[in-house]
Amino acid sequence: MFVCALGQNVGKRPKVQPATKAKSIVATDKEQIGRIGDDPRRPILIAGPTGAGKSALALKIARDRGGVIVNADSLQVYSGWRILTARPTPEEEAMLPHYLYGHVPYQEDYSVGQWLRDLQCVLARERARPIIVGGTGLYFSALTEGLAEIPPIPQDIREQARKQMAKDGISALLRDLDAQSRMRIDTHNPVRIQRAWEVLKATGKGLAQWQDETPPPLMPLADCDTLLIEADRDWLNQRIERRFDRMLETGALEEARAMLADWDARRLSSRAIGAAELIAHLQGDLSLEDAIKRSKTLSRRYAKRQRTWFRARMSGWNRLILP
């Protein structure tokens, strides 16, 4: 686990250059990189769907313009799944500082609130400009819009939610939500549905009400340089399929085999795309061909959900159109 031992420094962050409201622009790769990062005091935020090349772009900007790379992907925080979650390689991490990658034991749960607290620790001790990169939209919205200070969820309520979802599916939890919260969350995302249900049961207040009482953000969007990668669907799907093939070539199956003895599908880390499929193959329940096919399909579907979320929630970001 990432440990912050900074005493009174916790919560402080490098000053950023004030700016007017961000205006969305569309640019090619070369043009956009030429515009971003001129002011070393301004953080850089890079978001986009899985497989779009976010990590490579962040590394290029960091090497060319200066900065340290900070993870904003909710699965890359976990140990145990480096290859399958497409974390930077050890060689890439050795090029310059990388933070919040693989710092959470895979057996543990982790929330966006914990990520924000860990990020505060990084900002308090690292004076270089942060380049925050990932595909978890909720992390970026919490960072730039603020996050409701919801109390920790008791373990018994979390277990109750898991059991009810396993028995009756996500629709049972969805029916229990208050109307406002149901309207705001992604109703096709089991993680978000479970989280909203747990909050309501634990606090007696709906997630929407908590959000309405949100404190100021850690990094207002206007204080940051932003890049939202938008990729052609067919181009991205081809990259996703080739990337999964490379994952297998570089040891994804061996990585799954190392996790087999302690596999638990209920863990948040087990939601790494392809993990359940490769484990099922190793357990003799699925052919390797079918495991690969299903994993690629799930990756394409996940990218589609990400693009939909980004379009709806990140209209103020600068857009980088690929290819």
Q: Single out the residue in 196, 212, 228 at which a domain terminates.
A: 212
Residues of the chain with pLDDT under 50: 1, 5-29
Q: How many domains does the chain have?
A: 2
Tokens of 68: 């340290």
Do 226 and 206 belong to one domain? no
Classify residue 293: in a domain, yes or no.
Answer: yes
Classify residue 150: in a domain, yes or no.
Answer: no
The pLDDT of residue 218 is 96
Do 31 and 104 belong to one domain? yes
Do 199 and 229 belong to one domain? no
Map the chain to HEC letters: CCCCCCHHHCCCCCCCCCCCCCCCCEECHHHHHHHCCCCCCCCEEEECCCCCCHHHHHHHHHHHHCCEEEECCCCCCECCCCCCCCCCCHHHHHHCCEECCCCECCCCCCCHHHHHHHHHHHHHHCCCCEEEEECCHHHHHHHHHCCCCCCCCCHHHHHHHHHHHHHHCHHHHHHHCCHHHHHHCCCCCHHHHHHHHHHHHHHCCCHHHHHHCCCCCCCCHHHCEEEEEEECHHHHHHHHHHHHHHHHHCCHHHHHHHHHHHCCCCCHHHHCCCHHHHHHHHCCCCCHHHHHHHHHHHHHHHHHHHHHHHHHHCCCCCEEEEC
The pLDDT of residue 25 is 42
Domain carrying residue 78:
1-145+219-323
Q: Please state, in angstroms and rounded to a whole number, the distance separating the CA atoms of residues 97 and 67.
A: 8
Q: What percent of the chain has pLDDT over 70?
A: 89
- pTM to 2 decimals? 0.80
The pLDDT of residue 151 is 87
The pLDDT of residue 323 is 84
**CATH number for the domain that contains residue 138:** 3.40.50.300
Do 182 and 286 belong to one domain? no
The pLDDT of residue 38 is 87
pLDDT digits (tens, 9 = 90+) for 39-65: 899 999 999 999 999 999 999 999 999
pLDDT digits (tens, 9 = 90+) for 132-185: 999 999 999 999 999 988 888 999 999 999 999 889 988 999 999 999 999 999
Do 139 and 193 belong to one domain? no
Classify residue 242: in a domain, yes or no.
Answer: yes
